[in-house]
Amino acid sequence: MILYFSGTGNSSYTAKTIQSVIGDEIVSINELMKKESKETLKSNKPFVFVCPTYAWRIPRVVE
């Protein structure tokens, strides 16, 4: 499962490119936050996280 956070669209583009290569499910962290979703994400495959870095850190909302 590919989980991504994108502020400007670049990480979204990267996540979708990875998805096209490996064919795994893709989930937007932005959309999960908007829905205030409390669901538990499950996958038989490893989780892949895609997000930008700001000043050598991931965004606080992703932490």
Q: What is the pLDDT of residue 61?
A: 84
* pTM, 2 dp: 0.84
d(CA 45, CA 43): 5
Residue among 50, 43, 52 at smallest CA distance from 25: 43
What was the pLDDT predicted at 36?
86
Determine the pLDDT at residue 28: 94
Q: 1-60: per-residue pLDDT in tens? A: 999 999 899 999 999 999 999 999 999 999 988 888 788 888 888 999 999 999 999 988
